[in-house]
Amino acid sequence: MAKKSTYDYDLIVIGSGAGGSAAATIAAREGKRVAIVEASVFGGESPNWGDVPTKALLHAAQLYEEAKHGARFGIRSSMLSYNFPSLTAWKELVVKRTGAGGNRRYYENEGIDTYQSVAHFLSPHEISIGRRHLSAEYFIIATGSHLVPPAILGLDTVKYLTPRNIHTVMRPPKTLYVIGGGQTGVELAQLMAILGTKVYIADIASRLLPGEDAEAGEMLAKILHEQKGVTVLTQTRTLSVEKENIAKRVTYTRGGVEKSLRVDEVLVATGRQPSVDLGLENAGVEYTPKGIEVNEYLQTTAKHIFAAGDVLGHQSYTHTALLESRIAANNILSKNKATPDYTATPRLIFTYPGVASVGFSEDDCLKRDLAIKTAIAPLNIITRSNASDFRDGFVKLITDKKGVLLGATIVAPHAGELIHELALALKHGMTANDIAITPHAFLSWSEAIRVAAAKLS
């Protein structure tokens, strides 16, 4: 045991986001000497600039949108308005209540030493933070990812919005051009459109949400366009951005035709890359610009160094990073090694209606050459859609030839809550028939899941 005391710590965790925080806490509670190093704000991306503030604003905006269209229910609300500084104050309160930015104190209460600095490996067991050197027997790298702007002519000469700095705007822009039609792009496009901004959203893919089932992206494009007046520019390459007085001129090409438009602001919502610039070669950790290479136990090529979260390069969700963080801690502390099971990890997009999916998309199945059956139940066939006067959405299920669930997509109000029934079914190898014969409460949105499953059983 004498060997251990030659190191300053048993474990140093680099990064205090979801990929790092869980592991640091678990190890400290096991009596290990733990330090956590954070280059920016404690808590990382999700609670400070990502999920938490965005969802807080989306919740308020969706409430406003619903209320504004209350006339059909007999509610006189058409004159409703919002106060942007108050919306911003609400968002700040949510971030503060989540407590991540101030959780340095939380770590210290857990007996974890905290350092606010950039970490750089000097050797396999030693890092520098500023002028100090720290050593540890084990390390977990959870440095996450950062935005890398796309190669668009002139973009570096103008001030543009990012998913992070959009939270500092003093008022919504009158017009906004969003580059990127993935989760972040569509959430922020809908938010700004509800607040009265004329939004254009551009993506090189043939549909919005290119990583999800085709029907989800198509449905969302229809809703954004018809209900929010958003101009959806799919199969569009943004060529250049230039300053034009106080506005910006964006030039893009679509269907072989070059066009340009003048907007107040441009939001870049694409292209995150793993943050791997921390002297990994000095520690014998192999990596590429696409991320750190790990084995099934989340061990890097240096056996005492583990990695978790977005730094692995698979653009994971916060709940995936937390899972990996717990697994990495287990594999450092325990002889019984564990591997992360991603099978039933839900993917959520917090638009209204929400988009939620689990397992394979139809494209995933085609790439794997799987023989599948699919069924779609539109929301408008269940009674709840009539009672809530909401018809745009569906439940789509994918099974193998024996009826075992392979994947599911829901576009509906509360999609993020509904998906967990299907995640559980997928995790335990259940069939569409198992789902169909389970009673689903009348007048709940869940009835659409039963209907889709019945079509396959």
Write down the pLDDT at residue 171: 92
3-state secondary structure of 400: strand
Q: Region 40-62: what's the mean pLDDT?
A: 87
Write down the pLDDT at residue 148: 87
Write down the pLDDT at residue 102: 65
Domain with CATH 3.50.50.60 in the chain: 2-44+100-146+273-333, 155-270
- Give residue 298's identity as a one-letter amino acid code: L
* Bond preceding residue 353 cis, omega within 30 of 0: yes
**347-456: in CATH 3.40.30.10:** no
Q: Region 69-94: what's the mean pLDDT?
A: 91
What is the gyration radius of the CA atoms in the chain, in angstroms? 24
Whether 1 shows a pLDDT value over 70: the answer reads no
Assign domain 2-44+100-146+273-333 to a CATH class. alpha beta
Strand pairing category for 175-179 and 265-268: parallel
- What number of CA atoms fall less than 13 Å from residue 95's CA on the CB side? 22
3-state secondary structure of 17: coil
Domain with CATH 3.30.390.30 in the chain: 347-456
Write down the pLDDT at residue 101: 62
Write down the pLDDT at residue 2: 40
Whether 4 shows a pLDDT value over 60: the answer reads no
DSSP codes joined into one string, 209-260? STTS-HHHHHHHHHHHHHHH--EEE-SEEEEEEEEETTEEEEEEEETTEEEE
Q: Region 48-73: what's the mean pLDDT?
A: 91
Task: Tell me whether residue 73 is exposed, middle or buried, using C-beta atoms within 10 angstroms of its C-beta: 0 to 12, 13 to 18, 19 or more.
Answer: exposed
- Give the span between the Cα atoms of 52 and 58, in whole angstroms: 10
3-state secondary structure of 127: strand
3-state secondary structure of 294: coil
| Run of H or E residues at 64 | helix 51-68
| Run of H or E residues at 18 | helix 18-29
For domain 155-270, the CATH architecture is 3-Layer(bba) Sandwich (3.50)
Q: Region 128-143: what's the mean pLDDT?
A: 94
- What number of CA atoms fall less than 13 Å from residue 222's CA on the CB side? 11
Note the pTM of the prediction, 2 decimals: 0.91
Percent of residues, the chain, with pLDDT higher than 90 = 81
pLDDT higher at 354 or 109: 354
Q: Region 39-53: what's the mean pLDDT?
A: 83
- Give residue 387's identity as a one-letter amino acid code: A
Cβ-based neighbours of 293, under 8 Å, separated by 6 or more: 286, 287, 300, 301
**DSSP state, residue 50:** S
- Give the span between the Cα atoms of 77 and 337, in whole angstroms: 58
Cβ-based neighbours of 101, under 8 Å, separated by 6 or more: 41, 42, 43, 47, 48, 95
- Give the span between the Cα atoms of 276 and 445, in whole angstroms: 43
Q: Region 377-391: what's the mean pLDDT?
A: 95
Q: Region 11-26: what's the mean pLDDT?
A: 92
